[in-house]
Amino acid sequence: MGWTPRGTKCYWVTDRTNSWSKSREDCENRSAELLTLGDQDELAFVKGIVQKPRSYFWIGLFLPSPGQDWTWVNGSRLDRSRFQLGSNPRDEGKICGAIRGDRIASESCSSGLHWICQKEATLL
C-alpha cells in the first residue's frame, strides 16, 4: 500500500523528514533501499510522483570518504555522463545525495529531508 510501480521497481515517497542515515534505515525496514537512479527518464518519473517540486528528497547516493567518488547504496558509482551533481561537497561537508525537481544535489547528511525508497516489483 502506498507504493507506485514502474517497470521493475516500486517507489515509496515519505511525507516525513529525517536524516540520511535514518531515512536509509527506514527503507531497509520496508525491505527496500533509498532510491538508486538509473537514468534521466527515471528521474523525470520520480519528479512526477513526488508532487513537491521545491522540496529536497534523500536518495541512495553518498560520498564514502575523501578522495572517493559518489557511490550508490548498491555499491555502483555515480555515472556523471548521466547525472550532474550540484555544488562542491568537499568544501561544504555535504556528502549525502538528494534530489530536488530534476537535479541531484549534495546535502549535509544530518539535514531533515523527505526520502524515496525503492524495491523490486513482484508479480502477484
What domains can be seen in the chain, in order of their start residue?
11-120 (3.10.100.10)
- Distance, in Å, from the CA atom of 32 to the CA atom of 24, rounded to the nearest integer, reads 9
Q: Is the pLDDT of residue 104 over 80?
A: yes
**Inter-residue contact 52 to 95 (CB < 8 Å):** no
pTM (2 d.p.): 0.90
Specify the pLDDT at position 52.
Answer: 73
Distances (CA, A) of 19 to 1, 6, 87: 24, 26, 19
- Distance, in Å, from the CA atom of 91 to the CA atom of 49, rounded to the nearest integer, reads 32
Q: Which amino acid is at 85?
A: L
Extract the C-alpha cell encoding 62. 553518498
Q: What is the pLDDT of residues 22-63, one digit of tens each?
A: 999 999 999 999 999 999 899 989 988 887 778 899 999 999
